[in-house]
Structure 1
Amino acid sequence: MKRTIAVVLVAALAGCAAEKPPVAELTVSPSSLELGWPEFAEIQISIEPRAELPGGEAPPIVFLHLLDEPGSVVRTFDHALPQPWRPGRRIEYGVRLHQSALGEPLEAGVYLLSVGLYRPEGERFPLATSGEPVSRFEYRVATVTVAAPGERMPHARFSDNWLPPEPGADRQVVARRALRGGAPGTLRFGPVEGAGRLFVGLVIPGQTERSARLEILDGGTLPKVRIQSSCGGGQPEVSGAGRIDVDLEVTPAAGPRQCEITIAPNFQVTSSERAEATSVVLEALAWGPAADGAGG
């Protein structure tokens, strides 16, 4: 009986998909990749809209789901398209998959990467892809191999000015750490060998919560964060509110080393929901070794 129900369900999904023509053609490369902990890997997405999207005003969202063998979603990498949706105009861009050092490693094994297109209101759209459907308007596009963490994999060690880690709200952000007050915080990441890039995902809070108060401490008008690494990458400064991703180039060096990263905000946020002031929030931290070991 269970098998009969499953066959009927698949047939029903296929029938529904056949009723609606694809709104776009989508390809993902490579079709197989490795994703260690705590590392990142990049894929390329090409999507060519064929028709206008029906209904709704919100821009479409591309969802990327990492699925385990039973088909459960273990990580998501959903994102907005970098360009407007225009039929006949191809959109090509890169997306970064990562296992953040802030979270626990995934279990070793082979995972599936699936893709789809939807609007925030919840409606999914059919796509033309070379991948097999795994659910309604959701398509398998790659396999991701996750190895068990090695003994010499990098780890992050935080200074006392960081609050303890908190669980994320979903599988997009699995864990996060907030910085106390408006003082700088440091973290040591390593050992890293050779050249590469450190991926740092930060959130600068805005005036979105009624109970929160954002205070600029240096007399400026915008919240800012300056980042510095002992392994190179300059001293990038980011400003504004929201999620900001930063790449820190790690220059070549002989032998393994520890990278000390300093994150210095010019603001603090006080809230009736927290006992002490906080500032910037760290949501992602991962390492990307250079393919040839010689550059980022």
Structure 2
Amino acid sequence: MAATASNSGPVGGERKKDGGKDVPPPLPAPLNVPVADSHTHLDMQGDAVEDALAKAASVGVTTVIQVGCDLAGSRWAAQTAADWENVWATVALHPNEAPRIVHGVEGSGHPAPRPAGGDRALDEALAEIDALAALPQVRGVGETGLDYFRTGPEGAAAQEYSFRRHIDIAKRHGKALVIHDRDAHDDVLRVLEEEGAPETVVFHCYSGDAEMAKICAAAGYYLSFAGNITFRNAQHLRDALAVAPMDRVLVETDAPFLTPMPYRGRPNAPYLIPVTLRAMAEVKGVHEDALATAVSANTARAFGY
């Protein structure tokens, strides 16, 4: 789920121009080079899986990575990936799920110290994530990480404990680690360094600046950009994309969140990947086919399909 500004609220009257906020945006022109949506939540969208995949495929989005955020969602992701050959899964407890399991609260504030150990309920949930991560159709562990926007001091210790456990799970199973990083850049990088990052790390909905992008690229991490790169207040994301190496860049929807302009505020879905990819190509100063070729190869390499 989104690591930066939400897609709520009309911008420039787009809702009135093309319909109400619940009206899906139109199909964009198809891509010439097929790509993958590297991070989506089909279980939170309005269409049936079959319909969502068909619409996506019709515009050149032929593969999707279905991301789990809690136990139920991770089970669903794993089952959906088993049922559909063009769907792969990731499984995890979202950073905000860990303190909910431990404390039943989600506040706002800043990080607490690293806990000495886990919580029984949290450890039991993590054990199931561990088991799901062993499945062949599950190609990633995430989204995991740190979120200081929604969780405060009373929950940050549980978040960090959970994050460290997810890193271990990803390394033991040889799966990509999918990072959710919201207002927590320094600590996310610190924990990765302290634990030793898995071979493959994906920063979902990349939310840092250009300097952080250089650090991530030097470490070999992938940076996945979502529709918010098209937002007016997202120049730092465009600057980050501009310096990111082509072989480290992915594209995602994070649907149903972060619908790209000019449809901000309306439902997002994998079929809107071409809108974001074309905006990304403009930032990179390359033809959309060149960027699509790169991100297609990058996503397949990152998730091992």
Q: For the superposition of Structure 1 and Structure 2, which TM-score range results when normalised by the shorter chain?
A: under 0.3
- Superposition TM-score, scaled by structure 2 size: 0.23
| Structure ranking higher in helix proportion | 2
The structure that has the greater radius of gyration is 1
- Superposition TM-score, scaled by structure 1 size: 0.23
Instruction: Considering Cα pairs closer than 8 Å and 6+ residues apart, tell me whether 1 or 2 has the greater RCO.
Output: 2
| Structure ranking higher in strand proportion | 1
